[in-house]
Amino acid sequence: GQIVFQTNDLDEKWDGTIDGEPAPTGTYHYFLEAYGKDQKKFFIEGKVKLIR
């Protein structure tokens, strides 16, 4: 796969583009790595379907 969006800013969102161009319709997988209030690392993953 290819990383199409990555950030450390909670307010930043993916705008549906890849390298400034509209991403093609399809299913995109996401992987979230974060730390909780107790400083324990946790992971969330899922899919989002982009329809144009």
Give the pLDDT confidence score for residue 27 in this predicted structure: 97
**Whole-number mean pLDDT of the chain?**
96
Q: Give me the residues of the chain with pLDDT under 70, please.
A: none
**Which two tokens mark 41?**
């690392």
Give the pLDDT confidence score for residue 8 in this predicted structure: 93
Strand pairing report for 41-50 and 26-35: antiparallel
Give the pLDDT confidence score for residue 1 in this predicted structure: 85
Confirm if 33 and 43 have CB atoms less than 8 A apart: yes
Write the pLDDT tens digit of every residue in 18-30. 999 999 999 999 9
**Which two tokens mark 49?**
């379907």
